Amino acid sequence: MKITVYLGANEGNDPALKTAVQELGKWIGKSGNTLVYGGSRTGLMGELADSTLAAGGRVIGIEAQCFVDEDVQHEGLTELHVTPTMAERKAKMIELGDAFLAFPGGTGTLEEIAEVMSKVSLKQLDAPCILYNLNGYYDSLKALLEHMIAKGLSSGERQQGIYFAGNLSEIQEILGTTFKLTVNGRKVL
């Protein structure tokens, strides 16, 4: 399975982020899945790629040319795709993904996962969309989605396929129960 992960090129100031992202990368690599991510070598993005690679996993980076010009791309990836624009980068990350995960991140992470959430809610994308709610990071977003339902601007049916997970075990459970991907007749997860 190709798991597209959105996260920041900064490390943040919570040591739990680095630990959790390394745990996630190790699981992706050891489980035989492939990481699809933004292609940077810096911050949490770099940690995730390095952890996945160290665990024997495949890593596909999608980097916009503007970041290649700044020389922040990871040079040790299985594949690196360079796109002319950020919009094309986002489209390629969605195209390649089988499941989508937003790790705690900044406005870029929020913007990218919001597009996936919209596509899932409109049934334009049949894939799980998981927000990694580490230490309650996405509690406010969860409350906002519930508020949308309460105000009649969304529905539980529309939000089907959008999940919040507090730890790696919950992510694994969501992927294992909601997403049944087979390759050559074999269950991948």
pTM of the entire predicted model: 0.92
- Residue 177: per-residue pLDDT: 75
The span from the CA of 82 to the CA of 105, in Å, is 22
| Architecture (CATH level 2) of domain 5-177 | 3-Layer(aba) Sandwich (3.40)
- Residue 128: per-residue pLDDT: 97
The ranges assigned to domains in the chain are: 5-177
What does the DSSP assignment read for the chain?
-EEEEE--SS--S-HHHHHHHHHHHHHHHHTT-EEEE--BSSHHHHHHHHHHHHTT-EEEEEEEHHHHHTT-B-SS-SEEEEESSHHHHHHHHHHH-SEEEE-S--HHHHHHHHHHHHHHHTTS--S-EEEE-GGGTTHHHHHHHHHHHHTTSS-TTTTTTEEEESSHHHHHHHHHHH---EETTEE--
Contact 54, 72 (CB under 8 A): no
Q: How many residues does the chain have?
A: 189
Q: Which residues of 130-149 are buried (b: 16+ CB within 10 A; e: fewer)?
A: bbbbbeebbeebeeebeeee
- Residue 185: per-residue pLDDT: 41
Contact 118, 148 (CB under 8 A): no
What are the mean pLDDT values of the chain's consecutive 10-residue runs (189 residues total)? Answer: 96 96 98 96 97 98 94 94 96 97 96 97 96 98 98 96 97 81 42
